[in-house]
Structure formats: C-alpha cells, structure tokens
Chain A
Amino acid sequence: MSDNYRFEEEEFNTQFNGKTLIRILQQVKPHWKWVTGFLFMIMSVAMLDSYLTYLGKRIIDEGIVPGDKDALVQIGALYIGIMLVLSAGVFGFIYLAGILGHLVQYDLRKKMFDHLQQLSFSYFDRTPVGWIMSRVTSDSERVAQLVTWGLLDTTWGIVNTITASVFMLLINWKLAIVVLIMIPVLMRTSVWFKKRILVEFRQVRKFNSEITGSYNESITGVRVTKSNRREEANLKEFEVLTDGMYNASYRAAWFSALFLPAVQVISAVAVGCVVYLGGLEAKTGGMTIGGIQAFVAYITFMMWPIQEMARVYAELQRAIASGERIFSLVDAAPDVTDKEGAIDPGTLRGDIEFDDVTFYYEEDKPVLNNFSLKIKGGETIALVGETGGGKSTILNLLCRFYEPKSGQIRINGQDYRDFTLHSIHSRLGIVLQTPHLFSGNIRENIRYGRLGATDTEIEDAAKLAGAHEFIVALEKGYEEEVGEGGNLLSVGQKQLISLARAVLAQPDIFIMDEATSSVDTLTEHLIQKGMEELMSDRTSFVIAHRLSTIKQADRILVIEGGKIIEMGSHAELIHQRGHYYNLYTRQFRKDLEVKYDIFKTSEQKVVGIEKGAAEESLPDAVGL
C-alpha cells in the first residue's frame, strides 16, 4: 500500500473551495431523513448535557444550602429522567450517524466503481491504478466522515457552547461575558494546534512509507546486498530515514502533548476570573455557591466541544481535497462512447476495412499514419514485427478500445462507430500475452467468457484450449482457487485458461496477442488442431512468435513504424528474402534449440535453492 500513499498526498494544498463543500454535502441529500435525525439527536444531547450540569448547581443551591432533602429526591428523579432521555439520544446519534457514514461510503464507492466501468482505455493509460485505488478507498472514507461525524461534532460543539453560554448568562450575565471572551481564544489556539499536528502527522506518514519501501527492497534485494557487502552503507542510509521518522513523530507527539495543557491553562485563567469576580459578586449576594460551581464545570467542559470543532475545521481542507479528487473521477468523461442512435448489427462476421486510419496516443507521437487494410471475412491474419511497431495498436483500434483520430474502420461496409460498444465487445474473443484472471476458482474464470455456459460447455472449451488436462490434475479440479490475479497458477496455465475463456465466448472475431507464449511446445502442438478449426470460419488476428501459428495464417503482415512493410503468405514472404525471412530464420533456430534441449529430459526441481533459475526462461520474442 505504500505506493497508494503517495497518490493520497498530492494536491493537498488545494484552496478552500466552497463549491466542492456544497457538492460534498449534497452527497447526503438522498438520506436527509437520517441527517435530520442525528442532528436532532445530537442537539438534544448537547442541550440536556448542559442541563445536567445545571442540575448539579440546583443540588447545592436548592438541596444542600437550605438543607432540603426532599428537594434532593426531586432533583435526583429529574436527573434520572433526563439521563435516560440523554442515553436514548446517544444511542440514536451513534446509530444514525454511524450507519449513515457507512452508507455514504457505500454510495460513493458504488458510484465510482460503476463510473470506472464506463471509462475508456485512455483514462486508464494516464491514471495509475494506485491513484484510483486511493480515491475509492481512503478519499471516500474521508468524505463520508465529514458529512456524518464531522457534521455531528460541529453541531454538538456549537449547540453545547451555546446552551452552556445561555445557562451561564442565566446564572450571572456579567461573569458569563468574561467567559465568552475566552471562547475565541480557545478556538484559535485549538485550531492552530490541530493544524500543526496534522502537518506533522503527514510528515510521519511520508517517512513511514519510505521506511516500508526501504525494508521491501532490503528483503527482495538481499542477495545483491550480501554479495556487495553493502550492509553497513545500507544501514547508514536507513538510519537517516529512521532519524527523520523519529524527529517527525517526536514533534507530532510534542505538539499533541502541549495541546491539552495549553487549552487547560487558558480555561484555568477563566476559572480564576470566575472565582475572583464571582467571589466578589457572592459578597453582595449576586452569586450563589452552586452558581460558581456550575461556572467552573461549564468552563472545564467547554474545551471538549471547542476541541472537536477545531479538529473538524483542521480536517476540513483535507476532506474537501478528497472530495475534489472523487469528483474529478466521477466527472471524467469516456472518450469512446456509443454514438446517438448506435445499433446492434447482430453479427460482426464479414469484411473488415481500415480506411486511411491515423492514430496516436500522444499528439506529437503518431503510431499509425494513413493506414489502410482490407480483410475478408473468415481470414486469419498474422501480425509480426518489432515491439512498438504498431501491432497492438492495430488490434486496440479493431476492438474499438480506442477510435481512429482520422479515417474509418468499417465492418461489413459500415463505420463501426454506428454500432454500440456492447455489440462489438460482446462478439470479440481476446487472449492476451499477460493473461488476467480474477480471484475465484477456475470454472468461474472460464465462465467469464459466457455467463450462461453449462459446466459441460466449460469443460469442452477447456479441452479445446488444452487446459482440461492440467485442470483435472489439480487437487480440486475446476473448483481450484486461482488466487489473487491468478497468481497461484503459472503464466502458461493462466494463458490456457484465458484461451478457454475466449473459446467459450463463441466470438465472431478472434484476437490473440502472444496468447500462448508461455505454453510448452507439447501443449501448443496439442491445441493446434482445435484452434485451427475454431479459427477457420472466424476472422482472426494473431500476434505470435510461434512459427507454427504464423505459418497457418492466410496472410502475414510485417508491421514496422506503423506501416505494412511486407505482406503475403508464408511462402511468398520466404521467397522475398526480406524482413520476414530474417525474423523467421532467427526464430526457427530458437525454437529448435528449445525443442532439442537435452536438459529438458532430466528435470529435477529442488525447491527454494535455485529460486531464479527455476523460473521459466523462455526464448524471447524478437518480433515474431
């Protein structure tokens, strides 16, 4: 999570923004009944609380001083009554505000998550995952806190201060004015301290994430450290961090430790004034003993609501910044959307045409320039060429993950922007080199391709994709959990499962981007036939370095610098002795080296000892 932290802290110093605050408050609009409820509860609690203190005065003035035991009983009964009502109020506001807090967070998260599903690829290209994660997790929490507990604490503080002031004014207005003068001083001091402490804690968190990062590298890079004998130098560097952490934490604790005493001393000055002036008043009978006691109690407890208000105020800025970031996410508009009146064509089978397509991710770096290509329905196209040449971009455009900046892509003669996104995406079958699985078991992951598929269909798809065999060998078979992101399986196994998933989808267009690069040769061979059959009546696009896959293609395109530099069947291109010929021979040698690797026959694994070496070391794909 240390990465997420950094995203959380940016833009912290945004100016106070009233509009955002209003928009934040609007989040609770649908739950206005809850808000009214807890505000009512907290107001009652604050008022009754002050009244209980006033009852303390009455015990003295009406009970003890005149020696009236009956009055004591009466006051006691009243006390119990009020206390029960008060407790009901406490229950009410904790219940309402607490639950509403979770509800608001639930709403915000839902809103963000649902919106994220609509956003286009370009948004995810420029927005780091960590940034989005902290919007959905921590920012939503901060905003929810503000509109519930923040609102509640502020209301409590205000009402409590006001009622206490009213009671004081009722007891003795002259003294009360002296006390009221102290309130702004208390408030200012509290805000100053709270802001200061917040700044220090931010510093602490920054150091904390650096320390975590440092530990992480120290653990994962331990081999390099040991072999270079860097232990001492590393420790010295680390000590700089812990020193910084120490100083920041110490400063934060120092300010926190000073805060309460400072506020208490200010209150004590008020108490001193009350004792002195109140005493003089008492001399003339203008003040009772109970009155003085009540004043002392009011002053002592007044610092709590003021502290709470100061806290909310200090955190307000942060919460507004959180709100701004949440709204920036929710307001982001997808680039690729359905045009008005977009239709579902019913099928994507048919001819595909790239007509004079230009595309770039960044304005000054064009990837495709006036690219044109015609593909007949059912054709199998293989794309080869260096990384960064534009192969993946062509497929991204074809899938309409992005749209051409100029030019058209036509399916069956019609601009594909006339179709709905859903009608296109639901008819594609895509398998990527870095396969992505979701937590859950294997069956669920394959079913992702077609939600209504039966278990038999799932297994048939797995058989066709060559995944069935390894799946049934697993302890729980299809019910085996794949782990977070599928990381309990090897890359090759994940590729086979994502292939099965695409097969199950029964797509009109099949797209494989290095789909089986980590699958061993034997398995690759096994699935060859099934795949051929599958691709025979579908338009298929293949980026691969496997020669067997490429050779089967109806047409091979060599892409470089966003252009088709060679095009033709395998035989034609070999005879040309051009780029394709070179790529092909290079890959051919590599393939055979792997195939004839005699070491393969006597594999023996020793867990733990050859960590690095045990990892798959596959021939790297140089374009093919």
Chain B
Amino acid sequence: MVEIKNSLENDIFTIYVIGEVDASSSIHLDESINEATSKHKKIIVNCEQLEYISSAGLGVFMSYINDLNEKDIKMVIYGLSEKVLHVFQILGLDQLLKITNNEEEAKVIVNGI
C-alpha cells in the first residue's frame, strides 16, 4: 500500500511517496503526478520513505517523461534507497529522470540555478 502526501512551498510542489508502490497502488501515484504536472512547473518527488516500487510503478514515472519535456516542467526525484535506485538504473530511467541524493540538490535543479 502506498500513501501519498503533497505540500506546496513557494512555487515548489512536493509529492511524498510513502510505502510500497505495486500494480494496484501505482494508480494513486499516477493520479497525483498527473494532478501535479497539470498545475505546477516545479515538482519534487520525495521518495525517502518509498520502500519498494514495482515495474508498474516505474511505468508511471516513465509515462511522464515526454510530458515533462514538452511542458517544460522540472521534476526531480530524491531520497531513493539504494535498492530502489538500482531498479531505476537497471531500467535506464536514471538517464531520463532527474534523480538527486537530497532535497537541497533537488531544489537547486527545479529552481534552475
């Protein structure tokens, strides 16, 4: 099961992904990213409490790659555990999505400094 929380600080919209993202709970992740990309240009995905992500969950991130480029939205993922990061890497998503180690780096990227 996954729990998803949001916060808006200045113009940065943060999505907190907590728990496990599997085939059924990936729908919630999809909904919240969809909502975020339709309203905000600066999005940070906090995955510090993401324990597991299945291929269906990865598919959700993947499906926004084109959107982000086309709409010029900056989305950064940070706080991935070693295991989860490895899953992103094997699939090659680390080459297409911006992934940082911590919030500061993520903020730097979304602010475009």
Question: Are A and B interaction partners?
Answer: no
Residues of A within 8 A of B (CB): none
Residues of B within 8 A of A (CB): none
